[in-house]
Structure 1
Amino acid sequence: MDKNEKRMLMDKVLRELEDTRNTETSVVKKLAQLESENINLGDRLLEKKLPEIFNLVDDALSATIDLQSVYTAARDKFVKDNKLDEIHEEQ
């Protein structure tokens, strides 16, 4: 794999991380909505389990955001170190 192909694959990974982040954000919102609806319902099972699931997904979201940030910096460094931004601008 040449350097430009690697940059393109890194870009794809970043797009997929963004998609993952958006999906996890949606799941967090849905779980919060369910917790809110359970205030009126008062179901003990939901009251016990929803916060546990919410915390797991929220932790995954935080980890995804952190990875996305670190990987973006790594991708940007790779592009700069290999002067691929100049190649990309010429195309």
Structure 2
Amino acid sequence: MDKLKKFDLMEKISRELEDVRHSQQAVLEKIAKIEVDNIELGDKGIETKIPEIYERTAHNAEAIKEILESFQTKTEEFGDKNNISKLKEQQDIDSVK
């Protein structure tokens, strides 16, 4: 795989990880809302299970955040090391010819 294709794929994976991170945040917010709404309702099943689900989801969200940050750094370092901006400029020039 050439350097530009590899960099593009790394950027794509970063975007997908970012999407997953946002999705996890939305899930956490929904779980918290259910927990708050259940205070009024008082369902014992929800009261028992939701805190466990929230904790596992929060742990997963943190793991995704760590992976994302690490991978974004790796992607930036790869881009800098391989002078990706210059390679993209050259690719644009070549595509015009």
TM bucket normalised to smaller:
over 0.9
Larger Rg: 2
Task: Measure, in 2, the Cα distance between the counterparts of 1:73 and 1:14.
Answer: 10
Paired position in structure 2 for 1:32? 32
Among all aligned residue pairs of Structure 1 and Structure 2, give the percentage whose two residues are the same amino acid.
34
Paired position in structure 1 for 2:53? 53
Task: Measure, in 1, the Cα distance between the counterparts of 2:85 and 2:40.
Answer: 55
Determine whether 1:43 maps to 2:43. Answer: yes
Task: Measure, in 2, the Cα distance between the counterparts of 1:74 and 1:60.
Answer: 21
Deviations 1:14-39 (A, max 9, x none): 01001101110110000000000010
1:43: how far off?
1.0
Q: Which runs of 5+ in 1 are unaligned?
A: none
Paired position in structure 2 for 1:23? 23
Name the TM-score, length of structure 1 as normaliser. 0.94
Could you list the runs of 4 or more consecutive aligned residues of structure 1 that deviate by over 2 angstroms after TM superposition? 85-88
Name the TM-score, length of structure 2 as normaliser. 0.88
Q: What's the Cα RMSD here?
A: 0.9
Say how many residue pairs are matched. Answer: 90
